Amino acid sequence: MKIIQTSIPEVIVFIPPVFTDSRGYFLETYQQQKYAEAGIPKPFVQDNQSYSTKNVLRGLHFQLRHPQGKLVRVTQGSVFDVAIDVRKSSPTFGKWHGEIISAENKKQMYVPENFAHGFCVLSDSAEFLYKCTDFYTPGDEVGLIWNDPQLGIEWPIDEPILSDKDAVLPSWADVLDLLPMG
């Protein structure tokens, strides 16, 4: 497995080996021991899947009291995936990393606990899968508006399709007092 360290040390990109022959391909999408050795500290307790059409942007979300680490991948289509460090005590506080993840490139990205997460769909549609280190807890979710100039995320789309909830998320400045220390 190829492991790519990003500018934020805890955000890790994985490219699993793909074994191809005349019948198609095989790849191991998760093996606990290998991923733990690569830097994913906790087991996963929940798997999620979403389907979205072109220019849909989901996020930027995180949970405060029940933070979730996420191992994300795409099984159909292509997305631009973003992780933002929201830990006040971190040297990379407020920094983001973006990665194109697609069914074709088979990349996976680990979004650590206490990171905001979101993605936008680049292809006509995309199936997005992710494993979580904690359960979704209604009422614990916080979000950040996708286009906050203080974050400066370089999204590859200009006019995303947003849910009603995501369209009115607060700015970075408005959530600073809520953010975790570590």
d(CA 111, CA 96): 11
- pLDDT at position 179, please? 86
Flag whether pLDDT at 180 surpasses 90: no
CATH code for the domain of 139: 2.60.120.10
134 within domain boundaries: yes
Structural domain of residue 125, as residue ranges?
Answer: 44-178
36 within domain boundaries: no
18 within domain boundaries: no
Number of domains in the chain: 1
Q: Residue 97: left if φ>0, alpha if ψ -120 to 50, beta else—which one?
A: beta
22 within domain boundaries: no
33 within domain boundaries: no
9 within domain boundaries: no
- pLDDT at position 35, please? 94
pTM over 0.85: yes
Extract the tokens encoding 46. Answer: 């929940």
50 within domain boundaries: yes
> What residues are annotated to the active site?
61, 130
Helix and strand totals (H; E) in the chain: 3, 13
Burial level of 79, CB count in 10 A (0-12/13-18/19+)? buried
Flag whether pLDDT at 103 surpasses 90: yes
Beta strand 78-85 pairing with 115-121:
antiparallel
d(CA 102, CA 49): 14
Residues 57-77: tens digit of each pLDDT = 999 999 999 999 999 999 999
Q: Do you find a cis peptide bond into 144, omega within 30 degrees of 0? A: no
Place of tokens 């953010």: 179
Flag whether pLDDT at 170 surpasses 80: yes
Residue 91's closest CA among 15, 10, 157?
Answer: 10
73 within domain boundaries: yes
